[in-house]
Structure 1
Amino acid sequence: MWRVLRASLLRVRAARDWARGAATGQPPKEERDPAPAPYRDTVLLPRTRFPAQLPGRLQPQKCGFSELYSWQRQRKTKKEFCLHDGPPYANGDPHVGHALNKILKDITNRFHMMRGYKVHYVPGWDCHGLPVEMKALSELQAQDLSAMEIRQKARKFAERAIEKQKSAFIRWGIMADWTNCYYTFDGKYEAKQLSVFQKMYEKGYIYQDYKPVFWSPSANTALAEAELEYNEQHISRSVYIKFPLLKSPPKLASVMDGLSKISLLVWTTQPWTVPANQAVCYMPNSEYSVVKCTNTSECYILAADRVESLAAILDMQFEVISTFKGIDLESGSCAHPTIPGKDSPLLPADHVTMAKGTGLVHTAPAHGMEDYSVAAHHQLPMDCLVDEGGFFTEAAGSELQNKAVLEEGNEAVIQMLQAAKSLLKEERYVHSYPYDWRTKKPVIIRASKQWFVNTANIKATTQEVLKKVKFVPASGQKRMLEMLDRRTFWCISRQRCWGVPIPVFYHKTTGESLINSQTIGNIIRIVEQQGSDAWWTLPVEQLLPREAVVGNHDALDYVKGQDVLDIWFDSGTSWARVLEDSDQQADLYLEGKDQLGGWFQSSVLTSVATRKKAPYKTLMIHGFTLGEKGEKMSKSIGNVVDPDVVINGGQDHSKEPPYGADVLRWWVAESNVFNEVLIGPAVLNAARNDINKLRNTLRFLLGNVAGFSPETDSVPASEMYVIDQYMLHLLQDYSNKVTEAYKEYDYSRVIRLLQAFHTRDLSNFYFSIIKDRLYCEEEKGLKRRSCQTVLAEVLDAVVRSVAPVLPHLAEEVFQHFPYKTELESVFRTGWINTSSVWKKPGLEEAVEGACAIRDSFLGSISGKNALEHEVVVVIEPGLFFELMEALQPEESSSISQLNEIMMASKTTLLTKLPKELASEEKIIEGNFLINLEGGDIREESSYKVIVQPAAGAKCPRCRRYTSDSALTVCPRCMEVIMTKSSPF
């Protein structure tokens, strides 16, 4: 019959929350000691030394994790999985963001290792850059340190941070060869980085130019966009300025004739940039108006769409004299508002917006990206009046020299505008403004000579490459493509000394740069042998090969460049050092969402530029960690979660208990990591409780396979009880689904599947049904061995399925297996192994049908002891009756498979109501739909259930009401006792 029927009905399983069988998998107290003396010794209660509570102190070394990575690398297999580790920054203690990232990676690696892949995972650290340099210097009081002194201090600081972080990662159970990591300050790494630089330079992707870049006055260095954060509440001193018209545009001569005091009305949020003004820009296709102020009779030119709103802002009455197209402003010019005798041409530009301001844009080429484009097109001067510290230079004039442009310099310019009667209004303006993400101070845009990667030339290829990369979640692809689309160049030079030097020399007299394949190649060879310190310690003549010097010059005519490479270039070239094959791609990069504009992007740009391929096949993107109420973590709020405290506990264990590493790992796995991830005391307590429930389920499994050997005692599936076969059927379904969830990196679904399986299908359902068989049947009999076979399979599958998430618990359980295993670690035994014979068509209908009847029965007794009742089931002849008859061939039974599912003392199966039915007995009616052959056979059958008090006495051994007397055991128990006591 099983060959004909097909599994399909799942709807009733969700309703099973039966009173018998706690969610923990522990039997009720009554069942833990079900038989009084003299029968207690005949009951087979669970036996295991596995502790019920989470110990939290199991050390990774006891689990063999330190050797595990090396062991799996030595396996002979062609299947390899490469997860390239994005380098955490070596500038602080480990935090929960590290935990989220590293544990996600470890879950991924362990899963692939157990599935037979040779995992390639080399941990790394990002060691250079301003944050490390600043923290190292903050520990010192000394001033005027040499470049080498700063580098030595920064290196020692980074090394200390690395050791702290590495120890934490090991404690979290992260599997790796911790003696073989990569560091961006290692000479061989630096040489590989410079090799990528050389290839990009030779292909024309790297160039030097004088152009505006984001500049951090607080750090005295250029910044890339990825190094900015935006303060949404920044307050600027915005001003409305008059630029007096000097030369009327030819097309507007007739309009302007007879009008006096005509000015262009300009708005800016950065008054300090006005001294550098070189032009005023307009939108050619937009409409502009000449308006007359009825109060002062002055005339202004501004966007037609802004007339009404600006009249209100300036508290003026405007009379529109004429309206025209912006293109009509062509060939006009205006006077500079603070520099007498200087004029500013009126120029067309597409970046002018009508959404705010006046529709006319003040243009300072040294202090704006769009301004620079206009200046380059029209060959305007690009003089920068601001130095590296953010102070006005001598060229800005004596009134401004040495004043900080973001502070007193800004005030001084406003005062100059007032003195020249060019200022119409000043007001506070709250808006989003870029800040240096390291110093948390505002940045400026400032023109300087820097080194750039021309991303415009490789953008199209990179975008096509990224379309072939799998993104998890898929929405990450669109976001990354949009970020890349906005990127026209990448400034890769930094004015620091803690980093990899840009291998360029400058002529002492002309300042002309010297860089070519020979100069770079020589530096690469030196750095590979001595590290990048050599750039600062060796003289020029050793760094600059004679044959590379151009013309009649000598090496001594040159000086070494002082800039270092952007740390995003540092980390973005990690693929060149870590991936073993030059053509290799990592299967996975896994980092936080901030890396869509950071490491993910710098990695693909450098790889496409040199190899025309992405360094990764899949990108997984996770969110940030927040407090459990969704708030940002802050010491002032007191909601910062320290992973070390989570594992080992705080000073007061009553307030900060030690949870152990697996609680931290469970938190990561159960979270929806693709959004922001919440953590706090409530979250951690819930995780500990969840793990303890799982422990108790595993403890029940371990205790009930005591004395069982899978090799010699297993029962073939065809000989098992139907409920046992059904459990294997569910186990295969669970195993397939959890494997697919791991493959899709959906670890929260793994946890949901695990919890549903061990609480609903095991603890609440299967355990409650089989306890009588486990405890009271003959120890080595077929009935008990049948369910023990299933328990052994379930134990094996559950432990393997949870091992990537909870490796400490999995190893602990594995060490408590009552039967011997060949290998010492669960991680060396492979992934879940199920059998196709477990999936039997029709099995589900039989058990689901019996469970539907059981639900009706249990629902009618309101949580009372089911064993105190007998059940009469009436089903008309047909397929449903045949299914139930297969579970109970005899009319009435207390030991049938159907009665076991009912958990009653006796079940009677009839095709019609009994004639002697008492009138007061309640009849419960129900229906069950059988759906077979993919819907070809659909049969809805009705059934009736009659619940009666048990007629027998309570058996003192098994507590079922099947005995003739309360003083004697029931026939089943008597047979078991006699068999056990028999010498044969």
Structure 2
Amino acid sequence: MLLCRASAMLRQGAVRWSRVRLLRSTTTSCALHSGDTSKNNKNNAAVDSKKAPSDSKYRETVLLPKTELPMKLAGQKLLDKELEIQKSCGFSELYAWQRERKAKKEFCLHDGPPYANGDPHVGHALNKILKDIRNRFEVLRGRRVHYLPGWDCHGLPIELKALGELGAQGLSPLQIRKRAREFAERAIERQRSSFERWGVMADWSQSYYTFDGKYEAKQLGVFHDMHQKGFIYQDYKPVFWSPSARTALAEAELEYNPQHVSRTVYATFPVHTPPPKLAEVTDSWPGVRVLVWTTQPWTIPANQAVCYMPNSQYSLVKGADSGELFLLATERVDPISAILGVQFEVLSTFKGTDLEGGVCSHPTIPGRESPLLPANHVTMLKGTGLVHTAPAHGMDDYSVASQFKLPVDCLVDEDGNFTESAGPELHNKSVLGDGTQAVIAMLRDTKALLKEEEIVHSYPYDWRTKKPVIIRASKQWFVNTGSIKDRAQEVLKKVRVIPESARSSLLAMLDRRTYWCISRQRSWGVPIPVFYHRESGEPLINRHTVEHLSMLFEKHGSDCWWELPLEQLLPADVLKKSKGAEVQDYEKGEDVLDIWFDSGTSWAAVLDEPDQCADVYLEGKDQLGGWFQSSLLTSVAVRKKAPYRTLVVHGFTLSDAGDKMSKSLGNVVDPDVVINGGQDPSLSPPYGADTLRWWVAESNVFSEVMIGPSVLNAAHESINKLRNTLRFMVGNLRGFEPQKHSVSSQEMFVIDQYMLHLLQEFSIKVTDAYTEYDFGKVIRLLQAFVSRDLSSFYFSIIKDRLYCDAESSHQRRSCLTVLDEVLDAVTRSIAPILPHLAEEIYQHTPGRPESETLFRSGYIKASSLWKKPGLVEAVEGACTIRDSFLSSIPGRNAAEFDLTIAIEPGLFFELMESLQEMPCSSTSQLCELMMTSQTSLLTTLPRDLPADALTVRGSFLINLEGGDIVEESSYKVAAVPCARSRCPRCRKFNSETPGSPCPRCLEVIATAVL
């Protein structure tokens, strides 16, 4: 009963079987893998090369592939074909088309704006192509894609490049802005042209720009909303300051130079008033000096205190040779002794809290006192455990000043020079140059300098000018990120982050950011919409002033801030609503907004609905502290939600040696050269856009991505191999009309049904990989399917049917139907990555409406009905037998043998019997799978096997229905060299007469003649 039921299941497909778990006792692998069949293909090729003279007269009767699709495209022909495809397939109209169609779901990928300050580079290619792959995938799936490409157009780099060597000297803000805009527009045009050539799908006439008036008006609205809620405020506090650019910077605008050289000093502050709790420790307090260490000696003139760690131990020590008394942290005594070359004697040790109430004298400014104050930022990892504190030049120092009401006097101007308040010895000296040396000389003169040396360490630089920055107190506008970040961290936990490891970096950066300086002292940017009272300096900003300015900005652009008179910027009726005084009592502000605030408010300007959330933001890992964060903070502040549901973070591009690209090293890869070739085609051949796209998809984009000649050449070769596989299918499908000639899956050969089963599995895995943004996995799945399941397995088995069976025969149309399905699915699976090749293949696909393009025709149409019961068991069981057979004839052609398979009666025998109902056959499905000339299926091997028979045995374990049906069957295989002659047409050894076709071929030839 069990055997009958299993046979019925296979033949009728009446119930669903789970996929078999195959446990083989033999050491050979299934022929689904490429090793064995590649040998067989070589053997076939060897036989084919030894053609008898009579073979040629049957050549015309063999149905070989025919197609106009080129085997290979290279050089100018490749470039011309891609441009032709872009035009004929409507690449430029695709975005608008899909926006107009009816769709149940919308997919929104919000484009992070690339910076409009130069030519396109491979970093742009990596980012834009990654986005396009996902967008094209969604279009194929039938979703409406919302994708507005944009550009970040303001900021210092553009301003500096626009001004060039002339600088801003003598130019008005409007003249500077005009030059900067023209420079940005030229850069945008070059970048847009490249993005289009790469095949990026968008409506390029509908891009967004941060210098557009409508965009700027939306940005003012976000600024006002955040100001009204108390998230934006003005204050005087230390910020990162770029003397080279004369502007404040946010932390995201810094880059750290690990080779920066600073002058470092060990200096002393004489104790003026001993700590009350320690007054009795020594009678020599007037001679005690507090020892500090700093890498920024120029900040000592601004010192207001010396800080200690309350919970640490401190010691009073005496120099063995000099007898001088010093105060420093106990655990730093030995390290400092070694550094200074002085032997210390510890006189007394006490708690840090005992230092409370002590006061020092300033080492260079007579009469100034520096109190000893507790602070938790003091570290014992380096220095002396006592920290010189200058509130105007340090973030932690400023916190101490706020707590203890210390002065925050800044003695440094916008150029990084000491002001007149620093005294005549320092006035006009650069704090990063001769000013530092002057301060060190002053310390030496007052006997306060113990040691001076150079130190190489990591130091912040302006990422635009590539010059060092300082920390300097000034009046700026800030976002109080400390009051937003708790909510931001909560909403971020609901955001999907790919890779997940990037989440911790984003959270850590967010946690470290207590405030964000958003004002800049430049001309090229969006002006902060604030007026100041001329006498009191109080800022004027409210709903009425911002709404009026937003209307002006939307109409005229932000240039109107400099073009229009104050009376139009702040008209009397607006001022009256604002309860202000006279217009002449106010002046407009001169600061512009940080470009991270510019781009960080893009959600307000680009997303269609006020409450809309983008499905994904996809950018490089540098945006963890940049656009990802600024977008999150502004959206959470205004809408209490993240602007994105998913974050995808990719790495940076490196040379193929793993080095950072640099013009000085000559390893910069220009995407235009990748596509169009260089001056020497032998060194830089034209690869076309699809090769660039394949490189992007194939790379592990979640780490650093390497590119170079070897990588690109490998990508190009991979595409050519894929093209030839697709070309093989296209050529065989010539004349095939799917609507008329297709065979239903129920009526197909089992091997054909099995191929559809594999195709469905492939389709599901590819779709999942696209959904996970794992485009490298898409490539790996594709290559495995094409090389293993198609080329090495299926194609090698069906070629005899394709070439030698009658053109209209059922068995040939069975495999043609599968080839049609496979060609369609594979073409659609590669389309998001290789749109040019996919559309070219689609133009040659049978049954395609003449005017239709692939991207307008939908996604893979794999059917769950293709997963038939018994398919896996039957085919993979036969493959196990074939592996055993092939292992017994290494280096020989399988068609030279007649094969006898002996299986004990049972489920496995019934499965094989379903592939060959007759005991012996040269045309059965089992014979086709074995690729022999004749196959016999018996329950035992014949006793009269010839002496030259090759025998092998093995076993096969079937496990069905989760273990409900388990059967292990043994089998034996005997291979006997064919006694018949080789057929000159199909080259199998089934001819009764030498030089004459076999019975099957004779019948096909006769049918063709009729």
Normalising by structure 1, we get a TM-score of: 0.98
Question: Which secondary structure does the structure 2 equivalent of 1:308 belong to?
Answer: helix
Segment of structure 1 superposing worse, 369-378 or 60-69: 60-69
Q: Deviations over 1:664-720 (max 9, x none)?
A: 000111111111111111100110111011000000010111111111101111111
Q: Find the counterpart in structure 2 of residue 45 from structure 1.
A: 64
Structure 1 unpaired stretches of 5+: none
Q: Find the counterpart in structure 1 of residue 976 from structure 2.
A: 948
**CA distance 1:814–1:968, shift in 2 (3 Å):** same
Separation in structure 2 between the aligned mates of residue 877 and residue 635 of structure 1, nearest angstrom: 73
Q: Deviations over 1:72-125 (max 9, x none)?
A: 000012310010100000000000000000000000001111111000000000
Q: Find the counterpart in structure 1 of residue 595 from structure 2.
A: 567
Q: Find the counterpart in structure 1 of residue 568 from structure 2.
A: 542
Shift of 1:162: 0.1
Separation in structure 2 between the aligned mates of residue 896 and residue 322 of structure 1, nearest angstrom: 100
Q: Find the counterpart in structure 2 of residue 647 from structure 1.
A: 675
The answer to whether the Cα contact below 8 Å between 2:304 and 2:370 also exists between their aligned partners in 1 is yes
**CA distance 1:908–1:396, shift in 2 (3 Å):** same
Question: Which secondary structure does the structure 2 equivalent of 1:887 belong to?
Answer: coil
Q: Find the counterpart in structure 2 of residue 447 from structure 1.
A: 473
Question: Which secondary structure does the structure 2 equivalent of 1:38 belong to?
Answer: helix
Map residues 618-633 of structure 1 onto 2, 5 A cutoff: 618-633=646-661
Q: Does residue 36 in structure 1 map to residue 62 in structure 2?
A: no
Separation in structure 2 between the aligned mates of residue 166 and residue 751 of structure 1, nearest angstrom: 27
Residue number among 926, 929, 941 corresponding to 1:898 in the alignment: 926
Residue number among 817, 836, 855 corresponding to 1:827 in the alignment: 855
Shift of 1:211: 0.1
Q: Does residue 739 in structure 1 map to residue 767 in structure 2?
A: yes
**CA distance 1:140–1:9, shift in 2 (3 Å):** farther
Map residues 852-871 of structure 1 onto 2, 5 A cutoff: 852-871=880-899
Q: Deviations over 1:385-412 (max 9, x none)?
A: 0001101110111111111101111111
Residue number among 274, 282, 295 corresponding to 1:269 in the alignment: 295
Map residues 11-90 of structure 1 onto 2, 5 A cutoff: 12-13=29-30, 16-18=33-35, 20=37, 28=45, 36-55=55-74, 56-57=78-79, 58-59=82-83, 60-90=86-116
The answer to whether the Cα contact below 8 Å between 2:271 and 2:285 also exists between their aligned partners in 1 is no
Q: Does residue 335 in structure 1 map to residue 365 in structure 2?
A: no
Separation in structure 2 between the aligned mates of residue 635 and residue 668 of structure 1, nearest angstrom: 22
Shift of 1:904: 1.0
Shift of 1:845: 1.0
Kindly provide the amino acid, as one letter, of the partner of residue 592 in structure 1.
G
**CA distance 1:551–1:758, shift in 2 (3 Å):** closer
Q: Does residue 774 in structure 1 map to residue 791 in structure 2?
A: no
Question: Which secondary structure does the structure 1 equivalent of 2:478 belong to?
Answer: strand
Kindly provide the amino acid, as one letter, of the partner of residue 17 in structure 1.
S
**CA distance 1:898–1:735, shift in 2 (3 Å):** same
Separation in structure 1 between the aligned mates of residue 171 and residue 50 of structure 2, nearest angstrom: 77
Q: Find the counterpart in structure 1 of residue 6 from structure 2.
A: none
RMSD: 1.8
The answer to whether the Cα contact below 8 Å between 1:823 and 1:829 also exists between their aligned partners in 2 is no
Shift of 1:24: 12
Kindly provide the amino acid, as one letter, of the partner of residue 675 in structure 1.
S
The answer to whether the Cα contact below 8 Å between 1:22 and 1:764 also exists between their aligned partners in 2 is no
Q: Find the counterpart in structure 2 of residue 506 from structure 1.
A: 532
Q: Does residue 461 in structure 1 map to residue 473 in structure 2?
A: no
Kindly provide the amino acid, as one letter, of the partner of residue 295 in structure 2.
T
Q: Find the counterpart in structure 1 of residue 845 from structure 2.
A: 817
Separation in structure 2 between the aligned mates of residue 423 and residue 14 of structure 1, nearest angstrom: 81
Separation in structure 1 between the aligned mates of residue 968 and residue 849 of structure 2, nearest angstrom: 48
Shift of 1:10: 6.4
Q: Find the counterpart in structure 2 of residue 360 from structure 1.
A: 386
Shift of 1:303: 0.5
Q: Find the counterpart in structure 1 of residue 125 from structure 2.
A: 99
The answer to whether the Cα contact below 8 Å between 1:54 and 1:691 also exists between their aligned partners in 2 is no
Q: Find the counterpart in structure 2 of residue 485 from structure 1.
A: 511
The answer to whether the Cα contact below 8 Å between 2:656 and 2:711 also exists between their aligned partners in 1 is yes
Segment of structure 1 superposing worse, 358-367 or 609-618: 609-618
Q: Does residue 872 in structure 1 map to residue 900 in structure 2?
A: yes
The answer to whether the Cα contact below 8 Å between 2:531 and 2:541 also exists between their aligned partners in 1 is yes
Q: Does residue 888 in structure 1 map to residue 907 in structure 2?
A: no
Separation in structure 2 between the aligned mates of residue 370 and residue 476 of structure 1, nearest angstrom: 28
Map residues 744-763 of structure 1 onto 2, 5 A cutoff: 744-763=772-791
Separation in structure 2 between the aligned mates of residue 123 and residue 219 of structure 1, nearest angstrom: 30
Kindly provide the amino acid, as one letter, of the partner of residue 287 in structure 1.
Q
Separation in structure 2 between the aligned mates of residue 26 and residue 690 of structure 1, nearest angstrom: 25
Shift of 1:858: 1.6
Residue number among 216, 220, 226 corresponding to 2:246 in the alignment: 220
Separation in structure 2 between the aligned mates of residue 668 and residue 32 of structure 1, nearest angstrom: 41
Q: Deviations over 1:303-325 (max 9, x none)?
A: 01111111111101111111111
Map residues 672-687 of structure 1 onto 2, 5 A cutoff: 672-687=700-715
The answer to whether the Cα contact below 8 Å between 2:108 and 2:146 also exists between their aligned partners in 1 is yes
Structure 2 unpaired stretches of 5+: 1-8, 24-28
Separation in structure 1 between the aligned mates of residue 864 and residue 19 of structure 2, nearest angstrom: 14
Kindly provide the amino acid, as one letter, of the partner of residue 775 in structure 1.
Y
Question: Which secondary structure does the structure 1 equivalent of 2:281 belong to?
Answer: helix
Q: Does residue 908 in structure 1 map to residue 957 in structure 2?
A: no
Separation in structure 1 between the aligned mates of residue 387 and residue 123 of structure 2, nearest angstrom: 43
**CA distance 1:371–1:18, shift in 2 (3 Å):** closer
Shift of 1:249: 0.3
Q: Deviations over 1:549-594 (max 9, x none)?
A: 6777321222211100000010001111110100111111100111
Q: Does residue 799 in structure 1 map to residue 824 in structure 2?
A: no
The answer to whether the Cα contact below 8 Å between 2:241 and 2:249 also exists between their aligned partners in 1 is yes
Q: Find the counterpart in structure 2 of residue 111 from structure 1.
A: 137
The answer to whether the Cα contact below 8 Å between 1:853 and 1:945 also exists between their aligned partners in 2 is yes
Q: Find the counterpart in structure 2 of residue 431 from structure 1.
A: 457
Residue number among 2, 19, 26 corresponding to 1:7 in the alignment: 19
The answer to whether the Cα contact below 8 Å between 1:52 and 1:695 also exists between their aligned partners in 2 is yes
The answer to whether the Cα contact below 8 Å between 2:266 and 2:292 also exists between their aligned partners in 1 is yes
The answer to whether the Cα contact below 8 Å between 1:26 and 1:696 also exists between their aligned partners in 2 is no
Residue number among 190, 195, 199 corresponding to 1:173 in the alignment: 199
**CA distance 1:18–1:95, shift in 2 (3 Å):** same
Map residues 181-220 of structure 1 onto 2, 5 A cutoff: 181-220=207-246
Segment of structure 1 superposing worse, 549-558 or 306-315: 549-558
Segment of structure 1 superposing worse, 478-487 or 164-173: 478-487
The answer to whether the Cα contact below 8 Å between 1:21 and 1:28 also exists between their aligned partners in 2 is no
Segment of structure 1 superposing worse, 544-553 or 671-680: 544-553
Q: Find the counterpart in structure 2 of residue 369 from structure 1.
A: 395
The answer to whether the Cα contact below 8 Å between 2:232 and 2:477 also exists between their aligned partners in 1 is yes
Question: Which secondary structure does the structure 1 equivalent of 2:898 belong to?
Answer: strand
Shift of 1:841: 2.3
**CA distance 1:209–1:142, shift in 2 (3 Å):** closer
Shift of 1:9: 3.7
Kindly provide the amino acid, as one letter, of the partner of residue 8 in structure 1.
V
Question: Which secondary structure does the structure 1 equivalent of 2:55 belong to?
Answer: coil
Residue number among 774, 792, 806 corresponding to 1:764 in the alignment: 792
**CA distance 1:182–1:25, shift in 2 (3 Å):** farther
Separation in structure 1 between the aligned mates of residue 154 and residue 849 of structure 2, nearest angstrom: 48
Residue number among 479, 489, 501 corresponding to 1:475 in the alignment: 501
Q: Deviations over 1:274-319 (max 9, x none)?
A: 0000000001111101111111111111001111111111101111
Shift of 1:866: 1.5
**CA distance 1:464–1:23, shift in 2 (3 Å):** farther
Residue number among 295, 304, 312 corresponding to 1:286 in the alignment: 312
Shift of 1:341: 1.5
Shift of 1:26: 15
Segment of structure 1 superposing worse, 820-829 or 652-661: 820-829
**CA distance 1:892–1:18, shift in 2 (3 Å):** farther
Segment of structure 1 superposing worse, 528-537 or 946-955: 946-955
Shift of 1:17: 1.8
**CA distance 1:29–1:875, shift in 2 (3 Å):** closer
The answer to whether the Cα contact below 8 Å between 1:223 and 1:491 also exists between their aligned partners in 2 is yes
Map residues 232-251 of structure 1 onto 2, 5 A cutoff: 232-251=258-277
Q: Does residue 394 in structure 1 map to residue 420 in structure 2?
A: yes
Question: Which secondary structure does the structure 2 equivalent of 1:617 belong to?
Answer: strand
Residue number among 177, 186, 208 corresponding to 1:151 in the alignment: 177
Kindly provide the amino acid, as one letter, of the partner of residue 72 in structure 2.
Q
Shift of 1:13: 4.2
